[in-house]
Homo-oligomer: A and B are copies of this chain.
Amino acid sequence: MKRPHDQETLDVLLEITVLLGEDMERDLARRGLTRSRTTVVWLVGAQGPMTQRALADALKVSPRNVTGLVDGLVETGFVRREPHPTDRRATHVVLTDRGAEAARDLQLANAELAGQLFENLPDRRSQALRWGLEHVRDRLRELLAEET
């Protein structure tokens, strides 16, 4: 009923998640960023100034945690806290010049990585990989939605 093949495929996928994590972490460390902080820079870069509350929701993390992440990013010069224009309870997290540059670099690095990973893959195989990955992603989404 089950294909022994599938177990090996999952093993390869798990190894990829580890290697991909190592590769990104090494790259981020060079820029003076950690993984969690990078997500903040990435989000603010993509969506513009955000309240810490919005960040907490987007990261699915406690507000307290966001305070810490933003503190770290302020200290290292990637973001600034600015008063929210209309709500005096809230603060806007805004990218500094350095932060904006980092956000651009991250996007470039991401595109470069895509090239490096798939460049020698013929179109046909690349397409097949894409289908398989989408299938796996959809199954994972279902699994996570089920067990609530």
Contact = CB atoms under 8 A, between A and B. Distances in A.
A57 interface: no
A82 interface: no
Interface string A94-138: 000000000000000011011111111101011111111111110
Describe A's contact surface by its main secondary structure.
Answer: helix
Q: What is the total number of copies of this protein in its complex?
A: 2
A58 to B, nearest CB: 13
B19 A144 contact: yes
Contacts of A120: 135, 139
A117 B16 contact: no
Interface stretch (A21-29, A43-51, A66-74, A85-93): A21-29
Contacts of A23: 140, 143-144
B118 A9 contact: yes
28 contacts: A2-B119, A3-B118, A6-B115, A6-B119, A7-B110, A8-B130, A9-B118, A9-B133, A10-B114, A12-B130, A12-B133, A13-B20, A16-B133, A16-B140, A17-B17, A19-B137, A19-B141, A23-B140, A23-B143, A26-B144, A116-B139, A118-B139, A120-B139, A121-B132, A121-B135, A128-B128, A129-B132, A132-B133
Interface of A: 2-3, 5-10, 12-17, 19-23, 26, 110-111, 113-121, 123, 125-137, 139-141, 143-144, 147
